[in-house]
């Protein structure tokens, strides 16, 4: 058990056998023996390994319960294999802690995922994706209004959303997968809110459209269309912009971004897709955005990031019901007992980033 988890933690940290050995004062061969279960590290060495890998010693004794299935990366092909492995191991660690936490409750604290009925069995054109997005909104009673807390909506319907720090991975744009038949979505914790929301909605598209797209449709483009339609549905676009426009003021785009949480560029795409503006005019605006640097940072106040607070909330729920003690709560949140006690006493900062 320790060997496999040591291997996973090392991969998640992006360390080679030699790198880890150097940090804890061992040879790479000694680390390899631990990973291959040919030797068991003494408690003093285990503590050093835990510190070097930024895990608690309890991590090494957690049972193996998770495997990622049907992984879909938005830009998988451009990420180095080493970093893909690190991302997957980091995600698995979060999922394991989430499953362990949920299993502490006498009844499931989160509703199971239920497929949306009414989706077309086969999607052969992009126009049908509009209908699919509206069908999901209808099934989830979202109407046509903006969705202020997207993560909360997905969690409410059994889709777990996890965040990872991706500052070192500008090429990572999120992933969707299943774990023990449970759908999950992963996004960057450090991204602007509008990018997070589009990625979450894009990955939701992967989950909802899986097995439905015909061969002539590009899955990435289809999921982009789904994301836009889910965040600002057709009816809302036409209501806000009208059925035909020859020009849209940038400030108008900024106000719609503030309302619906979709980027200004994304709203232009929606307007083009629905025939409100011409493709040529959209392309002109894209050139203008590039000239002004708006393709990197759009003007105005950034849309606030999404908050993945469900895990932290469940930890304190379990603590309040005596399902766990402070030590276990701190372990689940990957922090020292002292830091956890400070946060519990409301004297520390928001701990959501420790998920």
Name the residue with tokens 């408690």: 43
State the Cα–Cα distance between residues 198 and 353, nearest whole angstrom.
20
Who contacts 40 (Cβ-Cβ below 8 Å, separation ≥6)? 2, 34
pTM above 0.85, yes or no: no
pLDDT digits (tens, 9 = 90+) for 65-116: 566 555 655 554 466 777 777 777 788 888 888 988 998 898 889 888 988 9
Name the residue with tokens 């600002």: 232
Neighbour order of strands in the sheet with 68-73:
68-73, 175-179, 182-188, 160-164
Domain boundaries, the chain: 1-64, 68-306, 310-354
Nearest 5°: the CA angle 134, 139, 141 is: 90
Tokens of 224: 């982009």
Burial class (CB in 10 A: 0-12, 13-18, 19+), 247: exposed
What does the H/E/C string look like for 214-235? CCCCCHHHHHHHHHHHHHCCHH
State the Cα–Cα distance between residues 113 and 195, nearest whole angstrom.
24
Look over the chain and give the mean of its residue pLDDT values, rounded to a whole number: 88
Tokens of 169: 């991975």
Q: What is the pLDDT, as a whole number, of residue 9?
A: 83
Provide φ and ψ at 327, rounded to 5°.
-65, -45
Closest CA to 103 of 341, 328, 355, 336: 328
Burial class (CB in 10 A: 0-12, 13-18, 19+), 14: middle
Q: What is the pLDDT, as a whole number, of residue 56?
A: 76
For the beta carbon of residue 124, count every other beta carbon within 10 angstroms. Answer: 13
State the Cα–Cα distance between residues 118 and 134, nearest whole angstrom.
10
How far is residue 267 from each of residues 53, 227, 260, measured CA to CA in Å? 42, 11, 9
Q: Do 258 and 303 meet the contact criterion of CB atoms below 8 Å apart?
A: yes
CATH of domain 68-306: 1.10.10.2910
Name the residue with tokens 């995600």: 91
pLDDT above 70: residue 353: no
pLDDT digits (tens, 9 = 90+) for 261-292: 999 999 999 999 999 999 999 999 999 999 99
pLDDT digits (tens, 9 = 90+) for 220-260: 999 999 999 999 999 999 999 999 999 999 999 999 999 99
Q: Do 8 and 93 meet the contact criterion of CB atoms below 8 Å apart?
A: yes
Name the residue with tokens 């835990």: 50
> Strand, helix or coil at 109?
coil
Burial class (CB in 10 A: 0-12, 13-18, 19+), 19: middle
pLDDT digits (tens, 9 = 90+) for 127-173: 899 999 999 999 999 999 999 999 999 999 999 999 988 665 667 77
Half-sphere exposure of 203 (CA within 13 A, CB side): 31
Provide φ and ψ at 117, rounded to 5°.
-85, 150
Half-sphere exposure of 107 (CA within 13 A, CB side): 1
Q: What is the pLDDT, as a whole number, of residue 291?
A: 97
One fold for both 1-64 and 68-306? Answer: no
Q: What is the pLDDT, as a whole number, of residue 13?
A: 81
pLDDT above 60: residue 350: no
Asked if the 1-64 domain carries CATH number 1.10.260.40, the reply is yes
């Amino acid at each position: 058990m320790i060997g496999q988890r040591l291997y996973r933690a090392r991969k998640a940290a992006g360390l080679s056998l030699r790198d880890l050995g150097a940090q804890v004062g061992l040879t790479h061969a000694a680390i390899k023996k631990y990973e291959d279960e040919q030797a068991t590290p003494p408690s003093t060495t285990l503590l050093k390994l835990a510190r070097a890998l930024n895990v608690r010693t309890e991590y090494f004794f957690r049972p193996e319960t998770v495997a990622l299935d049907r992984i879909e990366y938005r830009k998988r092909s451009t990420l180095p294999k080493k970093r893909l492995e690190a991302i997957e191991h980091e995600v698995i660690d979060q999922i394991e802690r989430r499953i362990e936490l949920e299993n502490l409750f006498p009844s499931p604290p989160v509703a199971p995922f239920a497929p949306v009925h009414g989706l077309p069995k086969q999607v052969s054109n992009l126009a049908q994706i509009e209908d699919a997005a509206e069908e999901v909104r209808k099934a989830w009673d979202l109407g046509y209004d903006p969705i202020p807390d997207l993560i909360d909506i997905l969690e409410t319907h059994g889709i777990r959303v996890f965040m990872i720090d991706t500052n070192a991975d500008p090429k990572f744009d999120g992933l969707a997968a299943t774990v023990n038949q449970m759908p999950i979505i992963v996004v960057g914790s450090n991204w602007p809110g509008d990018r997070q929301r589009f990625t979450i909605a894009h990955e939701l598209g992967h989950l909802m459209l899986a097995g439905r797209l015909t061969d002539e449709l590009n899955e990435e483009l289809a999921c982009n269309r789904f994301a836009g339609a889910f965040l600002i549905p057709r009816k809302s676009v036409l209501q806000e912009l009208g059925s035909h426009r020859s020009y849209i003021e940038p400030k108008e785009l900024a106000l719609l971004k503030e309302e619906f949480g979709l980027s200004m560029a994304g709203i232009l795409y929606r307007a083009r897709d629905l025939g409100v503006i011409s493709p040529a005019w959209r392309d002109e605006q894209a050139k203008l955005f590039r000239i002004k640097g708006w393709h990197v940072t759009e003007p105005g106040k950034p849309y606030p990031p999404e908050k993945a607070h469900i895990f932290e909330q469940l930890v304190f729920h379990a603590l309040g019901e005596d399902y766990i003690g402070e030590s276990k709560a701190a372990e689940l949140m990957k922090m020292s007992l002292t830091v956890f006690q400070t946060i519990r006493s409301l004297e520390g900062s928001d701990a959501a980033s420790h998920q």
